[in-house]
């Protein structure tokens, strides 16, 4: 299985020389195996991903949640405008299909956007992603699970061939408060993509307001969790939009003191697993 990062930034996209190395687009991940493809989240990274897909496009998108940094790329996903495209879209939770369709339609309506969702000619099949209910698609088995985040968020465990990847963006976890079900699912994953937006000083309010309850983890807690669950590699994810490349590298260095196989997720990075 190959993982490719298309957007690694959190909250809002960022541009400029300070993010040139790691990238400024918001959450979007592509997983490929045996010629099949899954996409996780439709942050602004989705636009460039859409330009690379061979036609006709037939793919499945899973949404962690519907906060704007995870859906804003969808209006710019060019394959969705083609009638020969087939998309399966999994919205999080009970009634996730309806909530996802509504959210995508709302952001493509006045006063936000000039082109409606109905202008997208692709066949779109919406479905619910339900915690604990695995979805089999192509060679992939995808298991959604609940993560602590304001308004909720789903993590996804993806298994294909002999590789296992966990995508856990937008989650406020500490290693002391790791839900046992989450710990069980993450056990021994080959790659753990985990929210690490804040430093410990930011989280605890020594720099700016306390971030407790804002729904994100620290680089140190991410490293402790990776160690606790026996992950093979940790990718720090959902970088703060104001964070410079050098600052993210420093956070990864701190994480490596706890879990040596830690690195920042970087736009366009490809990782082969299994």
Among 69, 159, 172, 240, binds Zn ion (CB under 5 A): 69
CB closer to Zn ion, 140 vs 145: 145
Task: Tell me the residue number closest to Zn ion, measured at CB.
Answer: 67
Compute the half-sphere exposure of residue 169: CA atoms within 13 Å on the CB side of its CA: 27
Q: What's the distance, Cα to Cα, between the start and end of the chain in Å?
A: 6
Instruction: Work out whether 10 is an interface residue with Zn ion (CB under 5 A).
Output: yes
The CA-CA-CA angle for residues 76, 152, 249, to 5°, reads 65
CB of 103 to Zn ion, least distance (A): 13
Tokens of 212: 């407790």
Q: How far is CA 83 from the centre of its chain?
A: 27
From 50-58, 66-74, 120-128, 224-232, span contacting Zn ion (CB under 5 A): 66-74
Residues between 223 and 252 that touch Zn ion (CB under 5 A): none
Partners of 87 in beta bridges: 59, 124
Instruction: Work out whether 170 is an interface residue with Zn ion (CB under 5 A).
Output: yes
CB closer to Zn ion, 128 vs 170: 170
From 73-81, 87-95, 166-174, 259-267, span contacting Zn ion (CB under 5 A): 166-174
Are 45 and 6 a contacting pair, CB within 8 Å? yes
Are 185 and 146 a contacting pair, CB within 8 Å? no
From 8-16, 45-53, 91-99, 103-111, span contacting Zn ion (CB under 5 A): 8-16
CB of 108 to Zn ion, least distance (A): 20
Report d(CA 30, CA 7) in Å as an integer. 10
Q: Please give the residue ranges that form the binding site for Zn ion (CB under 5 A).
A: 10, 67, 69, 170
């Amino acid at each position: 299985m190959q993982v490719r990062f298309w957007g690694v930034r959190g909250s809002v996209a960022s541009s400029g020389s300070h993010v040139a190395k790691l990238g400024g687009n918001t959450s979007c991940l592509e997983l490929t195996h045996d010629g099949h493809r899954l996409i996780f989240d439709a942050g602004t990274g989705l636009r460039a991903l859409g330009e690379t897909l061979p036609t006709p496009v037939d793919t499945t998108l899973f949404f962690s949640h519907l906060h704007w940094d995870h859906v804003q790329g969808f209006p710019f996903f060019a394959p969705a405008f083609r009638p020969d495209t087939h998309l399966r879209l999994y919205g999080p939770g009970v009634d996730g299909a309806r909530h996802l369709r509504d959210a995508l339609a709302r952001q493509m309506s006045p006063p936000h956007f000039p082109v409606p969702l109905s202008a997208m000619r692709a066949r779109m099949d919406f479905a619910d992603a339900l915690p604990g209910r695995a979805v089999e698609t192509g060679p992939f088995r995808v298991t959604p699970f609940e993560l602590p985040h304001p308004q909720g968020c789903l993590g996804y465990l993806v298994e294909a061939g002999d590789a296992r990847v966990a995508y856990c963006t937008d989650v406020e976890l500490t290693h002391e408060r790791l839900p046992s079900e989450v710990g069980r699912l993450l056990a021994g994953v080959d790659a753990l993509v985990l929210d690490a937006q804040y430093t410990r000083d930011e989280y605890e309010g020594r720099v700016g307001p306390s971030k407790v309850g804002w729904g994100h983890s620290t680089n140190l807690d991410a490293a402790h969790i990776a160690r606790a669950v026996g992950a093979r590699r940790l990718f720090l994810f959902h970088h703060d939009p104001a964070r410079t490349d050098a600052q993210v590298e420093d956070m990864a260095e701190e994480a490596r003191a706890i879990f040596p196989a830690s690195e920042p997720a970087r736009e366009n990075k490809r990782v082969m697993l299994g």
